[in-house]
Amino acid sequence: MNNQEYYDRLGVSKDASQDEIKKAYRKMSKKYHPDINKSPGAEEKYKEVQEAYDTLGDEQKRAAYDQYGPSGANGFNGGSGGFGGFDGTAGFGGFEDIFSSFFGGAAQRNPNAPRQGDDLQYRVQLKFEEAIFGTEKEVTYNREATCHTCGGSGSKPGTAPVSCHKCHGQGVVTVDMQTPLGTMRRQVTCDICHGTGQEIKNPCLTCHGTGHEKEKHTVSVKIPAGVESGQQVRLTGQGEAGFNGGPYGDLFVMITVQPSDKFERDGSTIYYTLNLSIVQAALGDVVDVPTVHGDVELSIPAGTQTGKTFRLRGKGAPKLRGGGQGDEHVTVKVITPTKLNNAQKEALRAFAEASDDSISKPKKKGFFDKVKDAFEGE
Ligand SMILES: [Zn+2]
Ligand SMILES: [Zn+2]
């Protein structure tokens, strides 16, 4: 994963502001623009700069890129069931705006065309078990909604926009411009109506002519069973209001899963460490082992060692795609007793005497004499 390269392409640091990124982009893209720079490789450079800005110039894509690299910004491939990721539909509108003033003439894009609203991102933290079994969460956030008073037109109800007084409804005006290629007569987007050709004379009192108003919005999110940190659920149409009657953007719910104090998890596999006494490990036992699905009885054979792993089939987390259920892996840890009373020590000595298979041979003296020396020797 490389989440530095796009910054390098624009020549900015990773903590650059959106403003600095935009400035750097203008500079770099002018430098390598194929209309200006005819040297070999310039066009390639120009495309790379373009690609970098496409991601870094968009707050959400930039955040995804910082966290997951280019694949994060370009799209986590979700699968079925309303489960999705970034797919690059978030509008990138900077390019034409910037270049229309230098090269291309104005109004290449129809400003009156319907445009989709912005996507939004919301972070949700799930408990360990919620991620395994799935859940439903209510999320509340502020968004730009279609103004309820004017229905998005921006005009006071009962009034209509009039033809723009500066461009006479054309959406563009003609100006002389100094460009890197010399003085040029150009048509540029009208700064009064921003290209729409229309002026709102009687703005709506609720939205002051924008057609949008802030709204506190609550939506219920179905989290599928088996999700993991870093995945997202996409809710179509729950983002911000569109423009000129365009559809709402989408809401991306980013998931973080809290750790468990009992279990570890990797995908659909759950890991559990089972502590056993030396007696249980040596003689064998039947014990209750916790799983996320409830306790399971497990037979421990005599002579079980630390590190021995048992597999509890189907006791893990569900697999997101393809279905089925993972396993729980139970790994044994034999605990050496630390606080022994006299009776217990006697029993262990008796055990040692009854055994002649010490694993590490004591050197000169018997092991217990040596310990005694260490504590009593002066
Ligand atoms: Zn309004
Ligand atoms: Zn105008």
pLDDT in tens, 147-196: 999 999 899 999 988 999 999 999 899 888 777 777 878 788 898 888 88
Q: What angle do CA 156, 172, 99 make, to 5 degrees?
A: 115
- Measure 191 CA to ligand 1 centroid, in angstroms: 21
| DSSP secondary structure letter of residue 318 | B
Burial class (CB within 10 angstroms; exposed 0-12, middle 13-18, buried 19+) of 29: buried
Instruction: Flag whether 132 is marked binding.
Output: no
Distance 110 CA to ligand 2 centre (A): 13
The answer to whether 204 is a known ligand-binding residue is yes
Residue 150 marked as a ligand binder: yes
Question: pLDDT, tens digit, for every residue of 209-243?
Answer: 899 999 999 999 999 999 999 999 999 999 999 98
Q: What's the CA gap between 60 and 180, in Å, rounded?
A: 33
Cα-to-centroid distance, 249 and ligand 2 (Å): 27
Per the structure block, which two tokens stand in for 31? 């430098």
Contacts 24+ apart (CB under 8 A), 38-43: none
Task: State yes or no: pLDDT of 329 exceeds 60.
Answer: yes
Q: Is 277 annotated as a binding residue?
A: no
Q: Which of 240, 297, 292, 252 is nearest to 118 (CA)?
A: 240
Residue 376 is assigned to a ligand binding site: no
| All residues with CB under 5 Å from ion ligand 1 | 147, 149-150, 204, 206-207
- Which ligand is nearest the CA of 167, by number? 2
Q: What are 26-64's pLDDT values in tens digits?
A: 888 888 887 778 888 888 888 898 889 988 988 888 888
**268 assigned to a ligand binding site:** no
Nearest residue to 249 (alpha-carbon basis) of 222, 274, 217, 223: 217
Centre of ligand 1 from the C-alpha of residue 311, in Å: 62
pLDDT level of residue 357 (50, 70, 90 thresholds): low
* Phi, psi for residue 221 in degrees, rounded to 5: -115, 120
What are the backbone dihedrals phi and psi of residue 99, each rounded to the nearest 5 degrees, phi first? Answer: -85, -20
3-state secondary structure of 94: helix
Cα of 216 to ligand 1 centre, how many Å?
16
**What's the pTM value of the predicted model, to 2 decimals?**
0.59
Distance 159 CA to ligand 2 centre (A): 19
Mean pLDDT calculated for residue range 304-311:
98
Ligand-binding annotation for 138, yes or no, is no
Residues whose CB is less than 8 angstroms from the CB of residue 310 and which lie 6 or more positions away in sequence, other chains included = 274, 298, 329, 330, 332
Q: Where are the beta strands (DSSP E) in 190-295?
A: 198-199, 212-223, 232-235, 251-257, 264-266, 269-277, 285-289
161 Cα to the center of ligand 1, angstroms? 13
Residue 255 in contact with residue 230, Cβ under 8 Å?
yes
Instruction: Return the residue matching tokens 């082992």.
Output: 289
Closest of 181, 161, 180, 179 to residue 171, by C-alpha: 161
Calculate how far, in angstroms, residue 213's C-alpha sits from the geometric centre of ligand 1. 7
pLDDT at 97 over 60: no
Sign of the C-alpha dihedral, residues 76, 80, 83, 84?
positive
147 assigned to a ligand binding site: yes
Placement of tokens 């006791």 in the chain: 315
Mean pLDDT in the chain? 84
- Say if residues 360 and 302 touch (Cβ distance below 8 Å): no
Furthest-apart CA pair in the chain: how many Å? 108
Give the integer Cα–Cα distance in Å for 189 and 212.
Answer: 22
